[in-house]
Copies of this chain bind each other. A is one copy, B any other.
């Protein structure tokens, strides 16, 4: 990355117990690696979560798209490269490239992160932190050739296909349900038989609200009609004493 010093590069191995029954890395574990790489990249440049927490700010993942030609196989060594290619008010756009140590490109990701005030939970301006330090590390020339996240539309009558309770192991360092857990729960709507014949080509998720341990999550699914491909939208809601409200929307292309 000498030519692109604003791109961070973090090494991983597709560890056998992070792989599914086809001996390929679980998308959930890949997503976790991406989130960790994002944290390292921002921490290395002075605007990581750890520093932000000290000034009552934090990063909240707002959207994530993962588009893979293939997933790393068991024991494959690969890098997650990540860089920020834009900032608008309280949002940064962060890209990912997943590439084998032999140079083979597995796929890409795109994400949107909001900077929020940890007390008010309201968005705050990215450029007001440390004299706009984030702007010093923008990289717009390194390619990320996938479509950015779209606005996911799902009908009000999409049928309920799963309900799950949330527990201690679902909760992340911020005290909320871990972003990656939603991805895993969405993928779990389909069973092992399905995954024998299909693989995920593109996975998109938009985070709308936070859920907490004890909330029940409900999953509503709709197949896109005007598509000759196998493409689905999923709405996730949380149910608690305040009633039912939307927390995420996801779109999956097999």
Contacts and interface: CB of A to CB of B under 8 A. Distances in A.
A240 interface: no
A213 B187 contact: no
Q: How many protomers of this protein does the assembly include?
A: 2
Interface residues of A, number: 39
A184 B17 CA distance: 14
A87 B109 CA distance: 46
A223 B184 CA distance: 32
A75 B191 CA distance: 35
Contacts of A187: 168-169
Nearest to A167: B188
A100 interface: no
B192 A169 contact: no
A168 B16 contact: no
Contacts of A168: 20, 187-188, 190-192, 194-195
A131 to B, nearest CB: 25
A187 B171 CA distance: 12
A117 interface: no
A214 B191 contact: yes
A253 interface: no
27 contacts: A15-B32, A15-B36, A16-B39, A16-B173, A17-B32, A17-B173, A18-B32, A18-B36, A20-B169, A20-B171, A20-B173, A21-B171, A21-B172, A21-B173, A23-B173, A26-B169, A28-B169, A50-B74, A74-B173, A167-B188, A168-B194, A168-B195, A169-B184, A169-B188, A171-B192, A175-B192, A191-B214
Interface of A: 15-21, 23, 26, 28, 32, 35-36, 39, 49-50, 74-75, 167-175, 178, 180, 184, 187-188, 190-192, 194-195, 213-214
